[in-house]
Amino acid sequence: MLSCSLQVAWKTMSKESRMKATINQKLTEMGERERLKELLRAKLTECGWKDQMKAHCKEVIKEKGLEHVTVEDLMVEITPKGRALVPDSVKKELLHRIRAFLAQHAT
């Protein structure tokens, strides 16, 4: 019964989603996903992005009150700013890494 629902899910996905899912599978299988995550983490810390986000979180918590704020609140508040503040150089490097990986493992 489980596999049925998965097959249905697969069929209802768009071609683009399916491609994304396949790429993600490959990245996860080969452990590249974890490596990329760590690379990204290091880059975002280096350029000060992490500190900026931390400061913003503190602001949100102050606003909402420590007792009542939820992770959801924080996510909603900081996600758009976080996405916008990622430096282009970091995006470039990650993209370059992913492309290189896919080129190496083209099926």
Partner 1 sequence: IPDALTTTMSPAGCPHVNSFKVDNWKQNLRVIYQCFVWSGSAETRKRKAKSCICHMCGAHLNRLHSCLYCVFFACFAKKHIHEHAKSKRHNLAIDLLYGGIYCFMCQDYIYDKDMEQIAKEEQRKAWKLQGTTALPTCSRTTRCGIGEKYSTWEPTKRELELLRHNPKRRRITSNCTIGLRGLINLGNTCFMNCIVQALTHTPLLRDFFLSDRHKCEMQSNSCLVCEMSQLFQEFYSGHRSPHIPFRLLHLVWTHARHLAGYEQQDAHEFLIAALDVLHRHCKDDNGKKANNPNHCNCIIDQIFTGGLQSDVTCQVCHGVSTTIDPFWDISLDLPGSSTPFWPLSPGGDGSALNGESHTTGATTLTDCLRRFTRPEHLGSSAKIKCSGCHSYQESTKQLTMKKLPIVACFHLKRFEHSAKLRRKITTYVSFPLELDMTPFMASSKESRMNGQYQQTVDPFNNDNKYSLFAVVNHQGTLESGHYTTFIRQHKDQWFKCDDAIITKASIKDVLDSEGYLLFYHKQFLEYE
Cα separation, 52 vs 78, whole angstroms: 10
Interacting residue with partner 1 among 67, 83, 84, 107 (CB under 8 A): 67
Interacting residue with partner 1 among 19, 35, 58, 95 (CB under 8 A): 35
Query: Residue 56 has which token pair?
Result: 């913003």
Residue 19 contacts partner 1 per CB under 8 A? no
The rounded Cα 57 to chain-centroid distance in angstroms is 18
Residue 71 contacts partner 1 per CB under 8 A? yes
Enumerate the H helices of the chain as residue ranges: 2-12, 15-29, 32-46, 49-64, 71-85, 88-104
Residue 54 contacts partner 1 per CB under 8 A? no
User: Which C-beta is closer to partner 1: that of 41 or that of 81?
Assistant: 41
Residue 91 contacts partner 1 per CB under 8 A? no
